[in-house]
């Protein structure tokens, strides 16, 4: 699809938001010779991209009604190994990509029936998932609770250390020539004669031919855009915590999903436990109920966690669109592009988003895989009502 994103042969680009999405888009653009400035209201990478668990789960989380999204998730999953390799070389920083795969536990016979039903659907999409007996599951992870009913084995759902990822993206983007302006909130997008022409930040105007909205959960509140150009993105609160294992004798090696929680073991011995899903706006309170629910669910899967010290607890805000799928592509005004609304899979979707948006800005061509994810799917629905 050729859409002619820009008029100028070498556009200048302003990216609003220095999370995994904004930084990766900026890095890819700079690699193609584009002049890019990224703005963040805080330090780079401290939004959802800092809060996430870093799971690259295109298969185990696939649910009915998400066929187009599963295809996009899988396309990004395939890009991850080479993306990680290139980023580590470009930044000189490790990003902790681990490839042990994921186990989705059934604790009870009911869980087993539910997972096997879902597995039939997942197999119909050709996803590489396999049922494992309880004995086989515990052979792979001996510290799991003795009474489990079995698990779904997902050999291609891996993990990356998302905090290391954003640090590496920041370094690689800078090395490639991106200017990153931290603690510089974009107060409003500048528009003239119906097209975007730059951003107001830090008390001055930064002219740009293209403005990319990658402001995560805050994307809807960027001022200066007409109502129809504000992406319908809301914050979806997630609480998490990390326990501290002995890195030489970790309790777990795979990513494990269990009813009510997931567990993600890191190389440094941290065991992440997540996450709540709460429609509470930008409420950043940690709650006893949220943390209790996560710990109880994790303990039912892995009882030995009760001996582990707590390392950290935190809250993050997933950028959720109206249908929980991302919004990627051009806006209704020339020069305006979205890369937002990645909800629960923004780390997974980083490589495919960065490539697609950079290709669109430079070549004016949008990857057909991204066609279902434009803003127009919402405006078209309203017009048809
Ligand atoms: P963010 O990282 O939030 O970045 C947006 C940036 O925009 C922020 O730094 C913010 O400060 C900045 N900004 C906002 N407004 C302005 C402004 N006006 N001017 C300048 N800057 C501005 N995804 C996965 O793939 N796997 C997971 O395992 C996973 N686990 C998750 C667990 C939790 C608890 C949460 C909360 C999310 C999780 N996610 C996961 C989702 C993932 O974190 C997000 O989809 C992804 O990080 C979104 O990246 P982003 O760059 O769009 O947003
Ligand atoms: N993808 C994990 C989460 O959003 O909690």
54 touches ligand 1 (CB under 6 Å): yes
- Ranking 1-10, 88-97, 314-323 by mean pLDDT, the lowest is 1-10
Confidence category of residue 78, pLDDT binned at 50, 70, 90: very high
User: Is it true that the peptide bond before 275 is cis, omega within 30 degrees of 0?
Assistant: yes
- The answer to whether 39 and 199 have CB atoms below 8 angstroms apart is yes
User: For residue 381, what pLDDT is reported?
Assistant: 59
Asked if the model's pLDDT at residue 116 lies above 80, the reply is: yes
Proximal ligand: closest to the CA of 345: 1
- pTM over the 0.95 mark: yes
Domains in the chain (CATH in brackets) are: 12-51+164-232+322-384 (3.50.50.60), 99-157+234-320 (3.30.9.10)
Mutate to test the pocket of ligand 1, among 318, 324, 343, 354 (most ligand atoms within 8 A of CB): 318
For ligand 2, atom 3: residue with the closest CA: 344
- In this structure, the residues whose C-beta lies within 6 A of any atom of ligand 2 are 53, 55, 238, 274-275, 318, 344
Mutate to test the pocket of ligand 2, among 20, 47, 48, 53 (most ligand atoms within 8 A of CB): 53
Find the 375 Cα to ligand 1 centroid distance in Å: 19
User: What's the pLDDT score for residue 65?
Assistant: 84
> What's the average model confidence in pLDDT over 15-29?
98
Name the E strands within 34-185: 35-39, 55-56, 102-106, 130-132, 150-154, 158-159, 179-181
Above pLDDT 70, what percent of the chain? 96
* Residues 198 and 206 sit within 8 Å (Cβ to Cβ): yes
How many angstroms does the Cα of residue 243 sit away from the middle of ligand 2? 18
Which is nearest to 61 in space by CA: 303, 280, 343, 373?
A: 343
What is the model's pLDDT at position 384?
A: 53
Q: Look at ligand 2, atom 2, and give the residue with the nearest C-alpha.
A: 344
């Amino acid at each position: 699809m050729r859409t002619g994103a820009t008029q100028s042969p070498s556009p200048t680009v302003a990216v609003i938001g220095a999370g995994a999405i904004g930084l990766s888009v900026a890095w890819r653009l700079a690699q193609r010779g584009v002049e890019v400035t990224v703005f963040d209201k805080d330090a780079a990478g401290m939004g959802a991209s800092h809060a996430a668990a870093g799971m690259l789960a295109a298969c185990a989380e696939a649910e009915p009604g998400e066929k187009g999204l599963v295809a996009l998730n899988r396309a990004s999953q395939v890009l991850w190994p080479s993306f990680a390799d290139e980023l580590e070389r470009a930044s000189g920083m490790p990003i902790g990509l681990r490839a042990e795969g994921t186990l989705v536990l059934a604790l009870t016979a009911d869980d087993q029936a539910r997972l096997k039903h879902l597995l039939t659907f997942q197999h119909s999409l050709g996803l590489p998932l396999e049922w494992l007996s309880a004995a086989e599951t515990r052979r792979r992870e001996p510290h799991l609770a003795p009474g489990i009913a079995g698990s779904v084995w997902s050999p291609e759902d891996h993990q990356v250390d998302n905090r290391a990822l954003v640090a590496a993206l920041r370094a690689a983007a800078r090395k490639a020539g991106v200017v990153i302006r931290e603690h510089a909130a974009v107060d409003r997008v500048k528009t003239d004669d119906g097209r975007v022409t730059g951003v107001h930040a830090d008390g001055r105007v930064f002219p740009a031919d293209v403005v990319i909205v990658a402001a995560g959960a805050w994307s809807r509140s960027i001022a200066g855009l007409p109502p129809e150009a504000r992406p319908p993105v809301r914050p979806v609160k997630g609480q998490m915590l990390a326990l501290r294992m002995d890195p030489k004798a970790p309790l777990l090696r795979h990513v494990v999903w269990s009813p009510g929680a997931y567990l993600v073991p890191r190389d440094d011995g941290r065991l992440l436990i997540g996450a709540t899903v709460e429609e509470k706006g930008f409420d950043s309170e940690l709650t006893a109920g949220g943390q209790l629910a996560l710990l109880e669910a994790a303990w039912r899967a892995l009882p030995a966690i009760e001996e582990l010290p707590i390392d950290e607890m935190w809250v993050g805000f997933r950028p959720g669109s109206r249908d929980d799928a991302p919004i990627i592509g051009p806006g209704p005004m020339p020069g305006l592009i979205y890369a937002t609304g990645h909800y629960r899979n923004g780390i997974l979707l980083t490589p495919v988003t960065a490539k697609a948006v950079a290709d669109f800005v430079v070549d004016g061509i949008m990857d057909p895989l991204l066609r279902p994810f434009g803003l127009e799917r919402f405006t078209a629905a309203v017009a048809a009502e």
